[in-house]
């Protein structure tokens, strides 16, 4: 059950294992027991998990939480979503990330092709233009 010591321990394992080879198994164990998390920070980490269905659910939850977050937190989400549109391993992940960017920030990229980020955008984190 969420809110228990066991739940907190499972969340802590995800956070501690982020960036390591144990991350996927920690996320998988958490998902089997508790489902997709509802906490902002843990959801952001799940954007680096590689299952399309989980990514889509995490993006949806983050999108719903975003209006109540600080500008810095929103920018962090925007950056992660932009990276997913460039590096997503599937068209589903890419399209879900693009849809969230469009809904939250009215950002759109040309359909039918992967957008490459320019070196200037990479240095300045300006990302795609808003329309």
pLDDT per residue as tens digits for the range 82-96: 999 999 889 999 999
pLDDT per residue as tens digits for the range 60-78: 999 999 999 999 999 999 9
**pLDDT at residue 112 above 80?**
no
Grade residue 111 by pLDDT with cuts at 50, 70 and 90.
Answer: low
Q: Could you tell me the CA-to-CA distances from 92 to 27, 37, 81 in Å, in that order?
A: 20, 21, 13
Q: Report which of 12, 70, 68, 75 is spatially closest to residue 45, judged by C-alpha positions.
A: 12
State pTM to two decimals. Answer: 0.81
The mean pLDDT value of the chain amounts to 87
The arithmetic mean of pLDDT across residues 33-47, rounded, is 97
**What is the Cα–Cα distance from 40 to 59, expressed in whole angstroms?**
11
**Bridge partners, residue 130, by sequence:** 107
C-beta separation of 12 from 18 below 8 A: no
Q: Could you tell me the CA-to-CA distances from 69 to 35, 50, 90, 101, 129 in Å, in that order?
A: 23, 25, 28, 15, 22
Residues in the chain, how many? 131
At residue 31, the pLDDT reads 97
**pLDDT at residue 117 above 80?**
no
Grade residue 12 by pLDDT with cuts at 50, 70 and 90.
Answer: very high
Q: What is the DSSP letter of 125?
A: T
Ordered by start, the domain boundaries in the chain are 52-124
């Amino acid at each position: 059950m969420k809110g228990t010591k066991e739940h907190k321990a499972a969340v802590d394992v995800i956070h501690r294992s982020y960036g390591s080879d144990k991350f996927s198994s920690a996320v998988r164990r958490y998902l089997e027991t508790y489902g997709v998390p509802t906490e902002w920070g843990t959801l952001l980490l799940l954007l680096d998990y590689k299952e399309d269905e989980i990514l889509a659910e995490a993006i949806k939850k983050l999108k719903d939480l975003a209006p109540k977050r600080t500008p810095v937190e929103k920018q962090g989400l925007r950056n992660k979503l932009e990276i997913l549109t460039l590096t997503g391993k599937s068209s589903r992940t890419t399209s879900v990330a693009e849809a969230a960017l469009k809904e939250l920030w009215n950002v759109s990229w040309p359909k039918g092709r992967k957008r490459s980020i320019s070196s200037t955008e990479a240095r300045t984190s300006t990302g795609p233009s808003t329309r």
